[in-house]
Structure 1
């Protein structure tokens, strides 16, 4: 009997594709569903995710969507009792475990595609088919960076999570047929954190993020009037705004960078656009040129109305979708070297890279003072992502990875 179906495990519902990890999982899932009948197990974070269940039903031969409601404190206690990183009990569900067992027993599943390390716990030891572990980025390294910048109990918690996750990542890499990372830099970091034996025997590859440049195209949208009504020049930062690295970067702009920019350009404003803005951000809304807008219906219109994207991330893992989206929208981007990692563009041609506060301010001020230079940078940025980072191009290796080198389409449901 030919085992030609795929089981897709994802820690977060791939619909709607409105944040970094969901954008990647969404496009990968759609590509896989075009290759073979697919079965899906995933978690919903909120009722908005649950409302997208119809999308799973239309795509999948079978699926299980579970609302994730376990409190973090419960997951923390379980992690201490189990000697495991918090992220494993946080994403453990008996319902999904039963679904995976039943799906493997009753269907012709030859490949399990695991999106994010939290879901590797559902892969049975005795499964004989392909196991693709899409780590996306190196989570353990992210928690190490958190620990280095934290103090007190949070430092211990994050250091513990980093240490235990590193062991889990190595174990999952040994179990996988292939392990995928989002960029060559992340893949090299992942290999460097394995034992010498594992680094030789584990098959670690790169599957890049992409951008839908036909969707993210300034020619097909009108600029957001509410943003145009604000004085300019208008700087923008986008993303999931309760995510700690995004919060830290936005605060850096508000407290350290924007005041210095406004010394040079007094009418400059800074706009934070994205879901669930943290209280620290909301507290600064409306003060000293800062505007915090929260979630919006169409991010493209806001990018189209901005003059420059400023992305001074200090902790960044993988390729930043916020950067790709801004580049696709012809927007000049000033970003930290961490935020530029994995994109593959050239500083000064496709974006402007700086790390110190002074250098970031200088590059922002130079582009705003010379709009033609900023416009040229934006045009080259869009040309680069259209030519090199379309989803069609970046996901080209996927068919071979899951055992369909010809890429023949099959009915998914």
Structure 2
């Protein structure tokens, strides 16, 4: 199987091309994480619109195949990978310990990246400096101290990391992890309440993330964030298509996502412990597929028990999603938006999700079933397994919604408009 590449965007060239410095904290391939998917597809969009992009990223968290590097070189004017040795990451963690910044910010500090950006921005090379995720925010120069004029900076915070870390802490049972997330949430709260003021715009997924940061601003005695724009992301509705009858497996329930990501781990374990026994009792041949890369030992130990299958990395996540009768997203933690939920809906699947899972997407009530209590989740899944026609009808409404409102192009065009608005100093 060849190296996976982002889709070609269905857009016309922009009337006003921009010069953009794009900053990221890890390699954008192999597109196994939600942020890798988003970054690689945003690069594809910017290239299709004719914008000039210099891509600066740390050489962490991925692997770029030759075909993918060739694609990057075509999509961007320059591509710069910055080594992040383990000793540098360790020193960054130590620095974070003594300065009070979030550990993730210390971990990804790179002086060379920051120096190159300051030089390029100072030389007037860019209209927009776009930083994806909080962790590389120190690399963007403070506009008030920059000699260059007229450029604007965007911090794609996406989700409130404070909200995310706090929820992980509240649902974590491992003592060491609870301690870590307790202190990291406090550090993130102090940081998020302040860092937004350094940027022209802060990009957030939805109202819950805005509300969480506003609350932290009040707690910290800081002005409330007022420069946010919504910047959700979409999915490839051409790749994630409804299933044929031959692809579907009766009584199959699927949960998809990286099984190295703590909120996904918590969700899978909670669902197996609190919901799955009732489902299996009502539908004895029900099968639960946990699909996702790098499953941790706690997840691996579930394999083979009570109809549970743990797949690990698969070549095509869409194939397993299409095979499901019902897809489930029982998130207890996390913030922002859930790529898996949009992928389920694009595939026309009947979906049962918690309110947290639907927080960033805000899908209408007629396109999925929202439930938070174990009994309600179990009952909803049992009813859908027993009534395939109802499951099919729900899935059709979900597909129509995803196709209309959640393409990559729609949300990236909104972000691009925010770029233009910021350069004209209008819109918040």
Match of 2:362 in 1: 344
After superposition, what is the alpha-carbon deviation per residue over 1:69-97, rounded to whole angstroms, capped at 9, x for unaligned?
53776543232133321111211123323
Q: Which moved more, 1:243-252 or 1:24-33?
A: 24-33
Distance in 1, matches of 2:288 and 2:230, equals 35
Q: Which residue, 190, 213, 228 being the options, matches 1:190?
A: 213
Q: Does 1:179 align with 2:194?
A: no
Q: Which moved more, 1:63-72 or 1:19-28?
A: 63-72
Distance 2:379 2:133 in 1: 38
Q: How far does residue 219 in structure 1 lie from its aligned partner after superposition?
A: 6.0
Tell me the SS of whatever aligns to 1:337: coil
Q: How does 1:54-133 map to 2 (within 5 A)?
A: 54-70=70-86, 75-105=92-122, 108-125=125-142, 126-127=145-146, 128=149, 129-133=151-155
1:395 to 404, 412, 415: 412
1:409 corresponds in structure 2 to none
| 1:386 Cα deviation from its structure 2 partner | 0.8
Asked whether the 8 Å contact 1:15–1:55 carries over to 2, the reply is: no
Distance 2:298 2:31 in 1: 26
For the pair 1:158 / 2:181, whether they are aligned, the reply is: yes
Structure 1 residue 15 and structure 2 residue 29: aligned? yes
286 and 190 in structure 1: CA distance in 2 versus 1, 3 angstrom threshold? same
1:385: how far off? 0.9
| Cα distance, 1:123 vs structure 2 | 0.9
Aligned length: 397
The answer to whether residue 236 in structure 2 is matched with residue 212 in structure 1 is yes
Is the Cα contact below 8 Å between 2:193 and 2:214 reproduced in 1?
no
User: Of 290, 311, 317, which residue of structure 2 is paired with 1:272?
Assistant: 290
CA gap 1:251/1:212 in 2 versus in 1, 3 angstroms: same
* Greater RCO (Cα-Cα under 8 Å, separation 6 or more): 1
Aligned-partner Cα distance in 2 for 1:290–1:312: 16
CA shift digits 1:307-341 (9 cap, x unpaired): 11111111131111101001110111011111111
Q: CA shift at 1:103, angstroms?
A: 3.2
Gaps of 5+ in 2: 1-15, 424-428
Question: Kindly tell me: are residues 197 and 255 of structure 1, through their superposed partners in 2, closer, same or farther at Cα, counting changes over 3 Å?
Answer: closer
Note if contact 1:222-1:304 (Cα within 8 Å) is conserved in structure 2: no
Which of 339, 344, 347 is matched with 1:321 structurally? 339
Aligned pair partner of 1:170 in 193, 202, 212: 193
What is the CA distance between 1:105 and its match in structure 2?
4.8
Work out the CA distance in 2 between the residues paired with 1:50 and 1:69: 21
Once the two structures are TM-superposed, the CA of residue 19 in structure 1 deviates from its matched residue by 2.0
Q: Any conservation in 2 of the 1:233–1:269 contact (CA below 8 Å)? A: yes
Q: Could you tell me whether the CA contact under 8 Å between 1:53 and 1:65 is conserved in 2?
A: no
Q: Distance in 2 between matches of 1:106 and 1:63?
A: 18
Q: Which runs of 5+ in 1 are unaligned?
A: 407-413
> Any idea what the Cα deviations from partners look like across 1:385-409, whole Å, max 9, x if unmatched?
1111222222222223223899xxx
- 2:27–2:63 Cα contact (<8 Å) kept: no
- Provide the alpha-carbon RMSD of the alignment: 2.6
